[in-house]
Structure 1
Amino acid sequence: MQRTLFVVVGLLAAVIAAVLFLVLRPRPSAPATDAASGARFVIGSPDAKVTIVDFSNYLCGHCRDHSNNVFPLIKRDYIDTGKVRYVFRDFPFGGQENVIRAGEAAACAADNNLYVEYHEALFRAQQQWAGLSGEALDNYFADLAGQIGIAPATFLQCLKSGSKRAGVLADQKLAGELGLTGTPSFIVNGEKYTGQRPYESWREILDKALAGQTSGGDQGGVSSPAKP
């Protein structure tokens, strides 16, 4: 009788331990699709095994370096080959009205299927528009659109409508909800990486992700901290 009681108690303890493990076990990181859900600007195959979500700020020097020097290589080797899907998100810091406006301008370019081209043009011309505001800023953005084949008058009409602002602010809000603290910030299949890094580092990260391995996230890069 006593042995039976010990067996029953032991079984109950095992069941309780199993239940506690299921309830209290650590939850996995949010998948990349959370950060990518509802994204406005996406390139690459929807069937790609790896998704990169890029949160950038148009006046961030490290974001400019990534856009100018690293992104074209990622596009050539991983996006154009169907391995990676790439999502662009805006991350203006508090009070950066000109960066919000730049995000609106990029969205207007997207209406003409020239988002990536305009995105890259904004970074190349970063120093030229950084100190502008109001009409001067809008006119500069319209002239920049003309340089890549968009009618400036049509572009300016889109920009002045204010219809793209909500999308930029939604990205900004999402960055805060994800706990991002600087730019550029990336989420690769659910893992966070903050800062600009050389292409060799990106190759290692992406090759591991394609192989189903993890890199641990938040490896050393150079970033601009988000301002309050």
Structure 2
Amino acid sequence: MTLTRRLFSGAAIAASLLLAACGGGGAPAGQSQYEREGDHAKGPADAPVVFIEYASVACPACAAFHQQAMGTINEYVETGDVRFVFREMITGQPRLAVAGFMLARCAPQERYFDVLDILFEQQRALFSAMQAGTAQQQLVTIARSVGLSEQEFFACMNDETLLQAVQAANQEAADAGIDATPTFIVNGERLEAQRGPEGNTQVWYAGATMLEDEQGPIPYNFEGDTFERIILYFKARAGQ
């Protein structure tokens, strides 16, 4: 059985995963101090805010974040205030996650994030296509939209080395203690939801510190305005 058939018709990938829950040292050249070799990033390496996301293209909560907040984050990437780093995890529907990340890696390097955007936008349709047995055709269409031929798509899906790289990224996330997606690390601090001071709502924390600004505690949600406040909070802490 080819790897392509295993991705779209079997459970071999799921069985091989060590983590499937949805929910630094010296910096390599051209990267921020918070990055590691193999990270996918956009924005200047010297940006005052380095925003790392651990996510899966097959995680509904990740899709919600990308639909609601990524537009805001991209605006700050363009102004040079944010460097956005994406780290792959295999959560949600594992076969779709693996195939999606392999496709993103096979696209031209400058189109990696374009593929992620399309996969998040079409996630629900891809879930339905997986059930109907037509996901492969839909992914071929996505591949063509970023400049890959059908032949190149199938070569990509049958690349064992690429599969191992995606699985290794997932394992590296697990080894780092990441147990759910999406998980955010900003300037080296992990963001988490905890009860706010009033006790009836959840707000964002970085470690033991509640994130707050002149508007008060920053609420736990995936809205663009919320992540703008988070970016400005960390930018201020960086003295900019």
Is the pair's TM-score, using the shorter chain for normalization, greater than 0.5? yes
Partner residue, 1:72: 71
Please state if 1:154 is matched with 2:162: no
**Distance in 2 separating the partners of 1:106 and 1:160:** 14
> Per the alignment, in what secondary structure is the counterpart of residue 193 of structure 1?
strand
1:86-121 Cα distance to aligned partner (Å, 9 max, x none): 111111139823312211111112x35211111011
> Per the alignment, in what secondary structure is the counterpart of residue 110 of structure 2?
coil
**Structure 1 counterpart of 2:228, which letter?**
R
Structure whose CA Rg is larger:
1
Number of residues paired by the alignment? 182
**Structure 1 counterpart of 2:88, which letter?**
D
Partner residue, 1:85: 83
Please state if 1:201 is matched with 2:220: no
**Distance in 1 separating the partners of 2:109 and 2:96:** 22
Q: Which has the higher helix share?
A: 1
Q: 1:125 aligns with which of 119, 122, 125?
A: 122
Residues 113-122 or 167-176, more deviating: 167-176
**Distance in 1 separating the partners of 2:91 and 2:145:** 28
**Structure 1 counterpart of 2:177, which letter?**
G
- The percent identity for this pair of structures is 23
Aligned-pair CA distance for 1:158: 2.1
Indicate if the aligned counterparts of 2:62 and 2:182 stay in contact, CA closer than 8 A.
yes
Please give the TM-score of this superposition, normalised by the length of structure 2.
0.66
1:136-155 correspondence to structure 2 within 5 Å: 136-155=134-153
Indicate if the aligned counterparts of 1:183 and 1:194 stay in contact, CA closer than 8 A.
no
Aligned-pair CA distance for 1:82: 0.8
Aligned-pair CA distance for 1:41: 1.3
1:48-106 Cα distance to aligned partner (Å, 9 max, x none): 12111111111211211111221122101x10011111111111139823312211111
**Distance in 2 separating the partners of 1:148 and 1:113:** 10
Deviating above 4 A after TM superposition, structure 1's stretches of 4 or more consecutive aligned residues are 30-35
**Structure 1 counterpart of 2:190, which letter?**
K
Partner residue, 2:203: none
**Structure 2 counterpart of 1:129, which letter?**
L
Q: 2:235 aligns with which of 210, 214, 217?
A: 210
**Distance in 1 separating the partners of 2:155 and 2:43:** 29
**Distance in 2 separating the partners of 1:202 and 1:208:** 9
**Distance in 2 separating the partners of 1:57 and 1:41:** 13
> Per the alignment, in what secondary structure is the counterpart of residue 93 of structure 1?
coil
**Distance in 2 separating the partners of 1:54 and 1:47:** 18
